[in-house]
């Protein structure tokens, strides 16, 4: 075989990628369960749903006294009010055995559990103890000084979504939820082999005509950054038998094999000869119209990728990130990386070779008129040029000249943080949890802030989010959501859901009754409700139902439906208003009250964003509507 015969066919970059991916099964490699201590940097293989509330009980934020807020109203330093001090003390870790009555107070430590009957904390500096009484010197409002159970995280809430890369922030959440082991995607094992008589290992004395092996270190660390597990198989000199044995061994021990060097037309380059022996399908591209990176070789055998990267460092790095990095991310269960780009003015003219896509490394300089991009040189053998560059400009294969002063797009190298593709603010719904998780499976990341329908709609009007989940009823028209829109916001129709009264099954005060009968039950001070946060669509329904009345527990205002269910299940409250699907998942009784629409407001300026369009497409799919129906929602 002559050197000139080794290139099968130089093809376009996109065609090479298409052939390569078509021969692969681009899916995570399986699930493994690992200790939480080993979870940093791993990728969740399924949604993580909270099995406990955080906090798991109503607790005090201060040292002081658990009281009923009504007993403090009107108290000042000059005119204090007195309540009876109970003899017990509620330290952290102690479960209360009493029910606080009006006119009573009990000592409580920071982190102590709030007893039934108390609804606020009187800070110790706002009180004076006189034997068996407490002199209240400052009024407090219901809920003051209390962290309510489930207001941080609630049982049944989707806390982390499939595909989430675990950082210290997420592992802290997992620990707070009591998770000792988690399910993650297996890390793809990547074999790295360096080839060539001229390559020597770092640490060895340099020899004439030799170079240190920098590619294996660059590639190993790049694999780690992408969520893979690299294994260096060593340096193989130009011996076809030794190389063949090494490659076969690497295939049995790994999921992907990288060879560095040996892709050009020299007689000593043996990697191509070894890889050309593969079948099923074998080599899919050898020679790609790139600069740098033309001698790239892409092969697949038994669904395992085998890639021969160019030996020159810059060529190897570019081709690795263009063709191999996305494959490793997908095998590791990660979404395809979104690359940060900036606009800049090219400082000097750049000439390019027609017929080859060129990557031009540039350094960025800030000027009064914006950013200027200065070419950093084109040497494919340079390691330092790549490490010092801010980014690169892609020059299309049919472009020969890019003039100075032309506006170009620069793809940054290792700059900035990955941000969510879709920002969602508004009302919480388990149906929305499902939709965002499904988007995550499709590679669209999201960030959800549950602040209520009114606040979410306001954020959309200010162009601060991509979507706002809302369910706002206009009492005059009887219509949901549409009457509240402005000229800058449009509506994406969501789904219907049923709001109603949640209660513990078997409670005779609710069983067999209707939701409209509830106001007649609230005169009983022992019938404690849990409300919702102001500005939420559910709070509007609650206030309409109560018609101005404020029963026991009205001041307790968690921010989502699951927290309402948690309060009832744990006996901290006896009833509340939430959606039917939450009642079903928590095995609670449900009295229907209002059929409503849960829709999505989107700023018109953001409607055409890819992430928003992906959401619209998902919402319209038949399988999505079917799954929403199974969750208890309707069209």
The answer, yes or no, to whether residue 577 has pLDDT greater than 90, is yes
**Rounded Cα gap, residues 164 and 227, in angstroms:** 12
Q: How far apart are CA 572 and CA 537, in angstroms?
A: 23
**Cα dihedral: 310, 313, 319, 322 (round 10):** 170
pLDDT band at residue 416 using 50, 70 and 90 as cut-offs = very low
The burial class, CB within 10 Å (0-12 / 13-18 / 19+), for 487 is: exposed
The 10 Å Cβ neighbour count of residue 92 is 12
The full DSSP string for 146-194 is: EE-TTSSB-TT-EEE-TTPBP-HHHHHHHHHTT-SEEEEEPPPEEEEEE
* Mean pLDDT of the 74-100 span: 93
Class of domain 3-28+187-331: alpha beta
* Each residue's pLDDT tens digit, 157-167: 888 999 999 98
Asked whether the beta carbons of 497 and 430 are under 8 A apart, the reply is no
- Asked whether the predicted pLDDT for residue 418 surpasses 50, the reply is no
Please enumerate in sequence order all residues whose Cβ is within 8 A of that of 454, keeping only pairs 6 or more positions apart, or say none.
Answer: 472, 535, 536, 537
What would the pLDDT profile of 115-153 be if each residue is shown by its tens digit? 999 999 999 999 999 889 999 999 999 999 998 888 778
pLDDT above 70 for 3: no
Q: What is the DSSP letter of 64?
A: E
Pairwise CA distance, residues 319 & 357, whole Å: 12
Backbone phi, psi, residue 192, to 5°: -125, 125
What pLDDT score does 340 carry?
Answer: 77
- Which tokens go with 625? 């509507």
Does position 49 have pLDDT exceeding 80, yes or no?
A: yes
Output 626-632 pairs: Cβ under 8 A, ≥24 positions apart.
627/434, 628/431, 628/434, 628/495, 631/430, 631/431, 631/434, 631/581, 632/497, 632/498, 632/579, 632/580, 632/581, 632/584
Write the pLDDT tens digit of every residue in 361-394.
887 766 667 777 777 765 544 555 666 677 888 8
Give the residues across from 410 on adjacent strands: 342, 393
pLDDT, position 105: 95
What integer pLDDT is reported at residue 481 of this predicted model?
Answer: 93
- Structure-model confidence comparison of residues 264 and 280, the more confident one: 280
d(CA 301, CA 280): 5
Give the residue among 462, 457, 489, 488 at the shortest CA–CA distance from 473: 457
User: Angle at Cα 161 formed by Cα 634 and Cα 490, nearest 5°?
Assistant: 50
Give the DSSP letter string of 79-128: S-EEEEEEEEEE-TT----SB--TTEEEEE-TTPBPPBT--EEEEGGGEE
Q: What angle do CA 562, 530, 474 make, to 5 degrees?
A: 80
CATH 3.40.980.10 residue ranges of the chain are 3-28+187-331
Measured from the Cβ of residue 370, the count of other Cβ atoms closer than 10 Å reads 12
In this predicted model, which residue has the larger pLDDT, 98 or 449?
Answer: 98
Label residue 74 by pLDDT band (50, 70, 90). Answer: very high
Range with the lowest mean pLDDT among 293-307, 476-490, 592-606? Answer: 293-307
3-state secondary structure of 432: helix
pLDDT of residue 122: 96
Mean pLDDT (whole number) for 559-573: 87
pLDDT in tens, 516-565: 887 776 666 788 999 998 878 889 889 988 888 888 889 888 878 888 99
Confirm if 313 and 37 have CB atoms less than 8 A apart: no
Q: What is the pLDDT of residue 558?
A: 83
Give yes or no for a contact between 51 and 181, defined as CB atoms under 8 angstroms apart: no
* Helix (H), strand (E) at residue 22: helix 13-22
Q: Where in the chain is the domain with CATH 3.90.105.10?
A: 31-54+162-185
Angle between helices 430-441 and 610-620 (to 10 degrees): 110
d(CA 88, CA 106): 7
Instruction: Give the DSSP letter of residue 321.
Output: I
What pLDDT, on a 0 to 100 scale, did the predictor assign at position 92? 92
Asked if residue 71 has pLDDT above 60, the reply is yes
**Where residue 8 falls among pLDDT bands split at 50, 70, 90?**
low
End-to-end CA separation in angstroms for the chain: 66
Which residues of the chain form CATH 2.170.190.11? 59-147
Confidence (pLDDT) at 4: 37
DSSP 8-class letter at 54: B
pLDDT at 29: 92
Of 284, 249, 250, 286, nearest to 265 by C-alpha is 286
CATH for 422-630 is 3.40.190.290
**How does the average pLDDT of the chain come out, rounded?**
86
pLDDT: which is higher, 576 or 336: 576
**Sheet strands (E) in 529-588:** 529-530, 575-579
State whether residue 459 is helix, strand or coil: helix
Phi, then psi, of 64 in degrees rounded to 5: 170, -135
Least confident of 85-99, 125-139, 278-292: 278-292
pLDDT of residue 262: 55
CATH class (in words) of the domain with range 31-54+162-185:
alpha beta
The candidate with the shortest Cα–Cα distance to 561, out of 290, 186, 156, is 156
pLDDT > 90? residue 183: yes
Taking a C-beta distance cutoff of 8 angstroms, is the pair 422, 467 a contact?
yes
* Domain 59-147: top CATH class: mainly beta
CATH 3.40.190.290 residue ranges in the chain? Answer: 422-630
């Amino acid at each position: 075989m002559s050197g000139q015969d080794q290139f099968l066919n130089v093809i376009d970059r996109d065609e090479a990628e298409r052939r390569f991916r078509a021969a692969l099964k681009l899916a995570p490699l399986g699930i493994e369960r690992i200790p939480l201590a080993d979870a940093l940097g791993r990728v969740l293989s399924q949604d993580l749903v909270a099995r406990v509330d955080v906090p798991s009980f109503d607790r005090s934020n201060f040292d002081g006294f658990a009281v009923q807020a009504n007993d403090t109203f009107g108290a000042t330093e000059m005119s204090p009010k007195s309540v009876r001090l109970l003899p017990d003390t509620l330290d952290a870790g102690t479960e209360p055995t009493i029910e606080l009555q009006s006119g009573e107070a009990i000592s409580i430590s920071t982190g102590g559990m709030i007893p039934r009957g108390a609804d606020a904390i009187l800070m110790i500096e706002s009180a004076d103890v006189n034997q068996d009484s407490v002199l209240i010197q400052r009024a407090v409002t219901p809920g003051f000084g209390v962290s309510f159970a489930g207001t941080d995280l609630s049982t049944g809430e989707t806390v982390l979504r499939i595909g989430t890369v675990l950082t210290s922030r997420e592992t802290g959440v997992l620990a707070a939820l009591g998770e000792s082991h988690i399910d993650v995607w297996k890390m793809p094992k990547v074999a790295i082999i360096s080839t060539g008589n001229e390559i020597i290992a770092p640490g060895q004395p340099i020899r004439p005509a030799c170079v240190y092996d920098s590619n294996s270190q660059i590639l190993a660390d790049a694999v780690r950054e992408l969520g893979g597990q690299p294994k260096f198989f060593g340096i193989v000199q130009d011996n076809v038998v030794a190389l063949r044995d090494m490659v076969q061994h690497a295939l049995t021990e790994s999921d992907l094999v990288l060879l560095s060097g040996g892709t050009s037309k020299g007689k000593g380059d043996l990697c191509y000869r070894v890889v050309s022996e593969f079948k099923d399908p074998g080599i899919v591209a050898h020679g790609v119209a790139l600069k740098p990176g033309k001698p790239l070789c892409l092969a697949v055998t038994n669904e395992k990728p085998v890639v021969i990267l160019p030996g020159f460092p810059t060529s190897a790095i570019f081709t690795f990130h263009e063709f191999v990095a996305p494959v490793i991310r997908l095998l590791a269960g990660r979404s395809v990386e979104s690359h940060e780009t900036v606009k800049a003015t090219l400082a000097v003219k750049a000439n390019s070779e027609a017929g080859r896509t060129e990557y031009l490394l540039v350094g960025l300089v800030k000027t009064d008129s914006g950013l200027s991009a200065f070419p950093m040189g084109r040497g494919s053998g340079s390691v330092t040029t790549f490490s010092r560059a801010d980014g690169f400009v892609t020059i299309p294969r049919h472009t020969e000249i890019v003039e100075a002063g032309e506006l170009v797009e620069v793809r940054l190298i290792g700059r900035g943080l990955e941000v969510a593709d879709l920002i969602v603010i508004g009302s919480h719904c388990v149906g929305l949890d499902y939709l965002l998780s499904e988007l995550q499976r499709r590679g669209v990341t999201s960030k959800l802030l549950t602040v209520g329908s009114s606040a979410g709609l306001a954020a959309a009007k200010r162009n601060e989010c991509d979507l706002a989940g809302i369910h706002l009823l206009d009492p005059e028209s009887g219509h949901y959501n549409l009457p509240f829109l402005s000229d800058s916001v449009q509506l994406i129709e969501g789904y219907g859901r049923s709001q109603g009264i949640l209660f513990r099954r078997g409670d005779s005060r609710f069983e067999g009754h209707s939701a409209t009968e509830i106001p007649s039950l609230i005169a009983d001070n022992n019938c404690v409700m849990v409300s919702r946060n102001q500005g939420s669509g559910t709070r509007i329904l609650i206030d309409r139902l109560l018609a101005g009345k404020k029963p026991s527990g009205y001041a307790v205002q968690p921010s989502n439906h699951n927290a309402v269910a948690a309060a009832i299940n744990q006996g901290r409250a006896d009833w509340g208003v939430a959606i039917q699907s939450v009642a079903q998942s928590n095995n609670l009784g449900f009295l229907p009250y209002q059929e409503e629409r849960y829709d999505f407001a989107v700023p018109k300026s953001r409607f055409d964003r890819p992430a928003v369009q992906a959401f619209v497409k998902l919402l319209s799919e038949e399988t999505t509507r079917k799954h929403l129906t199974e969750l208890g929602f309707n069209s």
